[in-house]
Amino acid sequence: MSINCSLWRDNSMSVKHFAFTKFSELTEQCWLLFSFILLMFLASLTGNALIALAIWTNSVLHTPMYFFLANLSLLEIGYTCSVIPKMLQSLVSEARGISREGCATQMFFFALFGISECYLLAAMAFDRYTAICSPLHYATRMSRGVCVHLAMVSWGMGCIVSLGQTNYIFSLDFCGPCEIDHFFCDLPPILALACGDTSHNEAAVFVVATLCISSPFLLIIASYVRILAAVLIMSSPEGRRKALSTCSSHLLVVTLFYGSASVSYLRPKSSHSPGVDKLLALFYTVVTSMLNPIIYSLRNKEVKTALWRTLGKKKL
């Protein structure tokens, strides 16, 4: 169904309302995808909320590692809630429109939570590095004040970068078409609707994405290189196993998050296609946030015990 953009312009001829592309003309396919995404969305919200609640209510988990994990769960909740409800509405309703201000708000919060997660994962890697490589100094280097500051820096960087990016993009004029070939207001599809030559804008977005994704990722790599070196010289097999087990969940989450983010935002423009971009968007907005609480709860006995205690069980 085509959309008449002329109804959504102001006197300056700049588009003031957008509409998300229709997934399929077949109602059955739209409802199938709606059910699939809704189930994953509910699973993500439930899992991350339970993780945060279990950490909050169980004093045994009031340690730096679980403090960062609780922050990660809150980020995942905000990350999915910023895009999934509107996505679900667009799938099964003709009300697929969104105002320019609403689109900017959605982009801001999506970028805020996504960029904050990049830096928080780096803080979690630093925590594991300190615990394994400097255990005698762990209590002082990862004090409560240090952990709070690291979390504040993560959230603060996300806020500053997302505010700058959103303001930069929505200061442009949009001449049309007004249909966003995506499920939500992501940066590349919105830039594609801007007037004139946007190569400089695209380059700026790419540079910021590279810095925000690559810089924390390099810190994570450096931390795990030191961790691996420290583990290899451990004389006790049990010590090596315990050290690696405390890092495995974080490594898996990092691989899922950075893998999907890198493929989505750091690919050359020529290799982008709307279909692939939509599938990747579904993966990094729904699937990864649903898998994170599963990864941490299945591979961590303390978390499983706390979850059962939170749910009113006395035994695992």
Q: Does residue 316 have a pLDDT over 70?
A: no
- What pLDDT, on a 0 to 100 scale, did the predictor assign at position 68? 93
- What pLDDT, on a 0 to 100 scale, did the predictor assign at position 306? 76
User: What rounded mean pLDDT belongs to the chain?
Assistant: 82
Q: Which range has highest mean pLDDT (3-7, 167-171, 275-279)?
A: 167-171
Q: Does residue 315 have a pLDDT over 50?
A: no
Q: Does residue 230 have a pLDDT over 70?
A: yes
pLDDT tens digit string along 119-153?
999 999 999 999 888 888 898 899 999 999 999 99
- What pLDDT, on a 0 to 100 scale, did the predictor assign at position 59? 83
Q: Does residue 28 have a pLDDT over 60?
A: yes
Q: Does residue 249 have a pLDDT over 90?
A: no
- What pLDDT, on a 0 to 100 scale, did the predictor assign at position 145? 93
pLDDT tens digit string along 272-291?
666 677 777 777 788 888 88
Q: Which CATH class is domain 28-311?
A: mainly alpha
Identify the weakest region by mean pLDDT among 31-35, 92-96, 124-128, 223-227: 92-96
Q: Does residue 190 have a pLDDT over 90?
A: no
pLDDT band at 14 (very low <50, low <70, confident <90, very high): low
Q: Does residue 232 have a pLDDT over 70?
A: yes
Name the percent of the chain lying above pLDDT 90.
23
Question: Would you list the domain boundaries of the chain?
Answer: 28-311
Q: Does residue 305 have a pLDDT over 90?
A: no
Q: For residues 74-90, give the mean pLDDT.
A: 90
Q: Can you read off the two tokens belonging to residue 238?
A: 């049990």
Q: Does residue 267 have a pLDDT over 80?
A: no
Any idea of the CA torsion for 37, 41, 42, 43, to the nearest 10 degrees? 100
Q: Does residue 1 have a pLDDT over 50?
A: no
Name the percent of the chain lying above pLDDT 70.
88
- What pLDDT, on a 0 to 100 scale, did the predictor assign at position 269? 62
- What pLDDT, on a 0 to 100 scale, did the predictor assign at position 268? 63
- What pLDDT, on a 0 to 100 scale, did the predictor assign at position 289? 86
Q: For residues 154-163, give the mean pLDDT.
A: 92
Q: Does residue 183 have a pLDDT over 70?
A: yes
- What pLDDT, on a 0 to 100 scale, did the predictor assign at position 205? 75
- What pLDDT, on a 0 to 100 scale, did the predictor assign at position 152? 95
- What pLDDT, on a 0 to 100 scale, did the predictor assign at position 314? 46
pLDDT band at 155 (very low <50, low <70, confident <90, very high): very high
